[in-house]
Amino acid sequence: MDAVQAANSGHPGAPMGMADIAEVLWRDYVRHNPANPRWADRDRFVLSNGHASMLLYSLLHLTGYEEFSIDQLRNFRQLGYRTAGHPEFEPDGPVETTTGPLGQGITNAVGMAMAEKMLAAEFNRPGHDIVNHKTWVFLGDGCLMEGISHEACSLAGTLKVGKRMCLYDDNNISIDGEVDGWFTDDTAKRFDAYGWQVIDDVDGHDPVAIAAAIDRAAAETERPTMICCKTVIGFGAPNKQGTASTHGAPLGEEEVAAARKALGWEPAPFEIPPDIAEAWNATERGAAMESSWNEAFGAYNAEYPDLAAEFARRMAGKLPHGWCKHADKAIAEINAEGAKMATRQASRRALNAYAPFLPEMAGGSADLTGSNLTKHDTSTPISGDDAKGNYVWFGVREFGMTAICNGLALHGGFIPYSGTFLTFSDYSRNALRMAALMNLQNILVYTHDSIGLGEDGPTHQPVEHTASLRLMPNMSVWRPCDTVETAVAWKYGLENETGPTSLVLTRQGLPHQERTADQIADIARGGYTLRDCEGTPDILLIATGSEVELAMGAADALADDGVKACVVSMPSTDVFDAQDAEYRESVLPAAVSARVAIEAGVTEGWWRFVGTQGRVIGLDRFGESAPASELFEHFGFTTENVVAVAKDVLN
């Protein structure tokens, strides 16, 4: 409450209401080492109700994390400090995930617990349980109201994701007041129906009752557990506790003083008595835990050196030795095949080439496996009874799928990927944003990328989605034109450790484009000259995905009329934008102002490449239901129209 008051901003209610639960859990149960926040077999703790961030920061400070000094707490919500308004993930820090958008923390935790179960099935051997930790989650009413919690928790029950304990802050309050008017779910019955162990009606202010519930939860390894803790929001604030006024605003100086008196707390703000600080500090206990695990891992390494080395590599996030050579060989083979196919099929071709070399790849689809083609020849689906595998049947859960994959990435040991139709990426939008915000390696396979979807009509035809994804900071978006560009796009995503990668893929077949070795190398730069001409070109045709074929046909037709046209394939605008000025000028020379960009989607984003004198052939409206070939002709995506527009620009 002192930190929130000092900032004059924040949420004191949940931290005060959950303090008793936190004290029991963090002092007696959570396995962690403040000296090494990234210890591989630590317990994971997720504060899904991220607005309670001061509770997490206080716990990290009290248990001995130097990154969360008392100075950090004094400067809660201030620029340049780790104590942000909502917890923010840092690769080397103790905050396991960025939370705030409700429901995503509990869903990330499903991914973390799945990762633990899958790694244990893969690496543990009799007498050597080197992967054996728990995932703890704090959550509130808001998390359970969010639909994503239904998606994730239902799947967690089906997959029997044990060692995952949720402690629900059941205080009957949200921002608008008492929740009885909008949230009357029987939470216990809901989670029982999911196949969870439910421990109901726990007094969240009784340490003995809390400990008994946690003990019972920890004993259950087959099912996830929901502990429903009855709490009072703002507990200890005599005039405001139990009311919405404690949720999202400082208590005020008078109420803070009254709370200190009611709680019998005499030390000054941000002052912790030495005996309390010593009792909370977990540095020695954490070091002993990690040391014990290191000894166990040493014994494991002695008996299973290859497995130990592979586990260490995977948890370090390093690609296997020889990866680049393997990937380049695969790309060369795919180029030599010269196959005509849909880029969704090309994606599966790339998966078949890469996945056997990368056991850390774990993927799935939102009930569209046969359409997204995310299941490769070495995919092994996991189940509730067998977690040794690399493929997840996510069901129709786009949002949950993406956030679960974020959790897999956060845990470590996996490179997650997932698939759905591009138009349904909207369902998972905020999880995509969180992946980008946290710099997570998460590969998104989005098929059926345009009006080329055809007869399913405008509900399923994405027109604005690719442009929208390109607007997201730190999201790399690739829309390849053939098998080779698709393989390069996959390689990029598998090497991109600083953010998510979206692969935007066609339903319809696309022709192979002939390239030199230098051109193949330049694909990785996001944009390159696919068809050159003698001397300075008269016009540049810039295209991506399925429209590259149109640009190539138009360039041939223009050449017949004496017009020198160069074709620029631009599979990734963000990667191209990141190239140096010299390279970008070599591809898009400023001296050539006559330019046409072609993409079967909204024109937004292409104007910066064509300038005021150029044109964009796009689709600034929704599509129609009809065969794809008819739609492309209807909306002007034909060689003839590209030629006509190009000549108009030149005139």
Residue type, 239: N
Look up tokens 């209807």; give the residue.
Answer: 634
Name the strand (E) or helix (H) holding 138. strand 135-140
Q: What does the alpha-carbon distance between residue 61 and residue 70 come to, in Å, rounded to a whole number?
A: 7
Task: Decide if 254 is catalytic.
Answer: no
User: Which residues lie closer than 8 Å to 16 by C-beta, 6 or more apart?
Assistant: 1, 233, 234, 235, 236, 237, 241, 246, 259
Per-residue b or e along 462-479, where b marks 16 or more CB atoms closer than 10 Å to that residue's CB: bbebbbbbbebeebbbbb
User: Which residues lie closer than 8 Å to 176 by C-beta, 6 or more apart?
Assistant: 182, 244
SS3 395: coil
CB atoms within 10 A of CB 113: 28
Q: What does the alpha-carbon distance between residue 579 and residue 558 come to, in Å, rounded to a whole number?
A: 30
SS3 531: strand
**Can you read off the two tokens belonging to residue 184?**
């009357």
**Can you read off the two tokens belonging to residue 257?**
């003083």
CA 327 to the chain's CA centroid: 24
Instruction: Please count the helices (runs of H) and the strands (runs of E) in the chain.
Output: 27, 20
Catalytic residue among 290, 360, 398, 599: 398
Going across the sheet that includes 225-230, the strands are 44-47, 135-140, 164-170, 225-230, 197-203
Of 508, 547, 510, the residue nearest 628 (C-alpha): 508
Contact 178, 208 (CB under 8 A): no
Q: What does the alpha-carbon distance between residue 615 and residue 95 come to, in Å, rounded to a whole number?
A: 48
**Can you read off the two tokens belonging to residue 196?**
């969870």
Look up tokens 């299973």; give the residue.
Answer: 304
Taking the alpha carbons at both ends of the chain, their separation in whole angstroms is 69
Q: What does the alpha-carbon distance between residue 178 and residue 161 come to, in Å, rounded to a whole number?
A: 32
Using alpha carbons only, give the angle 182, 187, 193 rounded to the nearest 5 degrees: 130
**Can you read off the two tokens belonging to residue 539?**
């016009």
Residue type, 538: D
Name the strand (E) or helix (H) holding 443. strand 443-447
DSSP 78-89: -TT-S--SS---
DSSP 399-426: HHHHHHHHHHHHHSS-EEEEEEEGGGGG
Q: How do beta strands 361-365 and 173-174 pair?
A: unpaired
What residues act catalytically? 398
